[in-house]
Structures are given as structure tokens and as C-alpha cells.
Amino acid sequence: MNTAGGTADPVEEYAATLAGALYGPARDKARLVEEVRDGLAETVTAYADEGMPRDEAARQAVLEFGSPAEIAPSCQRELAVAQARHTARAVGLAAPFLIACWYLLWSANPGQDWLLPRAAQQLAVHLAGVAGAAALLAAAMTAATGTLARRLPTPHRLPLAVAWAGTTASVAMAVAALALTVAALLATNWPLIALAGSLAAVSHAVVAASARACRQCARSTA
């Protein structure tokens, strides 16, 4: 947007610069930038009501607010926590699929171990352990960035911890998808196992993408 004199609006330039410097969930990022834009617009209006030319009022408001580089770190920390919550929820929702994979691998074709190698069953046990740990971590991380955050400061390294927990869970889901694919080729009840493998693959894609975004947010905060 341009001012009456045809020059770029300092408020819009400020908002655009800030948006380009931030990483995080699109909705939360847009909300933060909009809050900053509204704050600047209110300051500009206040100066303009006092008789200051609007162009000068906009420049003064931006000067008082601080440069985008100065306020970006605090905004980025907020976005990192928001992304950590997204990732923790993704892990918490996807963990039951790992448990389901364990159950299917363990119970497929009972009494016919030669069709389903014992190694696959042992792998399923480990995947179930990862699922249980991921679910507990997701619950703790959601609480730490939600209810507890209202009373206690969010640990500085929590987003990075959530990112790597999500990465670990996504790797386990990828392994589960591969194991279920192999099991489906060997088992007689292959349609059900193949369906579980597909769900594990989709869960891996969702959690991996969220964990990758969380790592990026954590690095930007650091």
C-alpha cells in the first residue's frame, strides 16, 4: 500500500519485513504480524489526530516501535512454541497407529511363525515402546506449552526437544510402514496389514513435516 504522496507505507513495509523474518505456523504467524500492524496503525492514528502529517506519523510510529530485527526474536519464540504444540499434537495423534502396527504384526497369522518372521514381531515390540514413549512425551509437551505455560515459563529448549521427539517418532513410523509392507507380502490377512502400513506411511509424512518445521523454528529462535 502507498501513502498519498505515492511513497511506500512505512507500516506495510515494516509488516512485510517482519513477516519475511519469521518462521512458524502460517495462521499464528499471520496473527502476530497483524497484531503488530494494528499496533502501528493505532499509533499512527494517534499522532495524526494530534496534527502530525500522516507520512511523518507513520515514520515516527515505526521508529518508536523498534526495528523488525529487534522484535523478531520475541515473535519467533512465540511461533516456536506454537509449532512445538502442533508437532506434539501430531505425535500424540499418530502414536496410536504405531501401537496398532504392533498389534497387527504380533497377531498376524497366529501359529504360523514361518509366514511372519520372529524378527518382525520383535521389531513390533520396539515400535510399541517408541509409540508409548512418544505419546507420553507429546502429552507432557502439550501441557508444558499450554496449561503449565500460564503459570511457568516455557523452557527455552523445549521446541528443539519436541522437534527431535517428533523426528524420532516419524522414523519409527517409517520403519513400521516398511515392516508392515513386508508382512503384508507374507501374511494371509494381508489387506488389513497393508491398510495399517498405509496409515503408518501417512502418519510418518505428517509428523515428519511438522518435526522439520519445528526444527527450523527452533534454529531460528537460537
Please count the other Cβ atoms lying within 10 Å of the Cβ belonging to residue 110. Answer: 8
Could you tell me the pLDDT band of residue 102, with boundaries at 50, 70 and 90?
A: low
Could you tell me the pLDDT band of residue 85, with boundaries at 50, 70 and 90?
A: confident
CA 123 to chain centre: 28
**Share of residues in the chain with pLDDT > 70 (%):** 68
What radius of gyration, in Å, describes the C-alpha atoms of the chain? 25
Across residues 64-85, what is the average pLDDT? 88
Burial class (CB in 10 A: 0-12, 13-18, 19+), 5: exposed
Distance CA(79)–CA(162), nearest Å, equals 14
pTM of the model: 0.72
